[in-house]
Amino acid sequence: MKKTKTKNSRALKRRKKFFKGLRHFLLIPVLVCVLLYGFIFTATMPFMSDIFSIGSMFLQNEDANYSRSYENIFTPSDNTGDTVNADDVDYPSIDKQFGTLKIENRGVDAKLFFGDGSVALRNGVGVYAGSFIPGYGKTILISGHNNTYFNGLKNVKKGDIVKIRTSYGNYEYRINNTRIAKADDKSTYDLNAEEENLIMYTCYPFDELGLTEQRFFVYGEKISGPAIVGIYE
């Protein structure tokens, strides 16, 4: 009995020692560590909160994607009506192909993108994101390279028809003017225009090596295609 009691009390002592050791080696340092976080956080909070806030502004939910591929949301439309409801229009985001652009017999046949960055201009022609899409009733400003998809603009004449196909409708514009102007000439476009007008442009002169300051502008008026209705409530 005495031996068992001594054995039990020794085991108890060893257990007590172990937990005391654990407390000293682990628990107290963890507590001190937490206090340290609290201390440093409190001391640096006035400017760290701004830094964290600004830092997290540059974070996204996934790993960054550097692919130069693009998404195609274009499916041919059979809409023959005069209007299309705004609810039925899938508004494209930047670098998405949402249609095609063609000028018959002029060598212009390209994919139509929203946005006019390098992805768009490498693969087709692009609508400037600060302008609007066909059917919106405002300015459509489209750019393309003069040695690729818009090389055919050098052949266009007044009266030529520009066909733009989108998933929500098919549009036709008649070319009514062309103009050569400097790239920084703001009179070449009006982004505030309240009626639908098409402006296509490319570098000028054509087939010339090097970068030029001039652009070749082609203007068109809408002749057919569904107007997007229900935009403004």
Partner 1 sequence: MKKFFKNLSLKKVLYAVLTFIMAVCIIFCSFATVIRITFFNGSFLSDTLNSSQYYKDLCVEITENLTDLGDASGLDKEFFEGFVNEVLVREDVQTYITDFYEGNKLKVNTSNFDESLQNALKKYIKSNHIKSVNEDNLNYFYANASKIYSDSIKIKYLSSIQDLILDKSGPVTVAIIVLILIIGAVICVLIFTNEWKHKALRYIFTAVNSAGLFLLTLPLGVFLSGVIGHIAIISRSLSDMYISIINSVLSDLIVISIVLIVVSIALWVIYGRVRKKATI
Partner 2 sequence: MKKLSAVTVALFLVIISCFSGYAAGINAAEQSVLSNMRTPANMNGHKVYVPAAYINQAEAHFNTIDMTQQQADTINGIISQGRAFLEGTGKSNIKDLTSSQKQTLLSYASKAANVLKLTAVAGSDENRIKIITKDGTVIVDESNNIIKTTGYSSLLTPVLAGSALFIALVCASAGLIILKKRELVYEKN
Enumerate binding residues for partner 2 (CB under 8 A). 50, 53-54, 56-62, 64-65, 85-89, 91, 93-95, 115-118, 120-122, 128-133, 138, 141, 143, 183-184, 186, 188-189, 191-192, 201, 203, 211, 213, 215, 230-233
83 is a site residue for partner 1 (CB under 8 A): no
123 is a site residue for partner 1 (CB under 8 A): no
* Out of 62, 78, 184, 233, the residue judged to bind partner 1 by CB under 8 A: 62
Which of 1, 64 has the CB closer to partner 2? 64
Rounded Cα–Cα distance for residues 169 and 187 (Å): 30
List the one residue out of 178, 169, 190, 172 whose CA is nearest residue 214.
178
Which residue blocks in 106-172 are alpha helix, DSSP H?
A: 118-123
Rounded Cα–Cα distance for residues 230 and 80 (Å): 18
**In the complex, minimum distance from the CB of residue 55 to partner 2, in angstroms, rounded to a whole number:** 8
State the amino acid at position 111 in one-letter form: K
Which of 78, 233 has the CB closer to partner 2? 233
Q: Which does 12 bind (CB under 5 to 8 A by kind): partner 2, partner 1, none?
A: none
Which of 165, 215 has the CB closer to partner 2? 215
Q: Which stretch binds partner 1 (CB under 8 A): 56-64, 78-86, 87-95, 220-228?
A: 56-64
Rounded Cα–Cα distance for residues 224 and 132 (Å): 17
* Out of 50, 90, 104, 208, the residue judged to bind partner 1 by CB under 8 A: 208
Q: Residue 32 belongs to what H/E stretch?
A: helix 28-57
Which of 215, 222 has the CB closer to partner 1? 215
Q: Which stretch binds partner 1 (CB under 8 A): 1-9, 115-123, 162-170, 217-225?
A: 115-123
> Tokens 């960055």 appear where?
117
Running DSSP on this structure, what letter comes out for residue 70? -
Which of 80, 187 has the CB closer to partner 2? 187
Rounded Cα–Cα distance for residues 23 and 27 (Å): 5
Rounded Cα–Cα distance for residues 114 and 131 (Å): 10
**In the complex, minimum distance from the CB of residue 25 to partner 1, in angstroms, rounded to a whole number:** 5
C-alpha to C-alpha distances, 159 to 50, 112, 135, 189, 218, nearest whole angstrom: 59, 22, 20, 20, 11
14 is a site residue for partner 1 (CB under 8 A): no
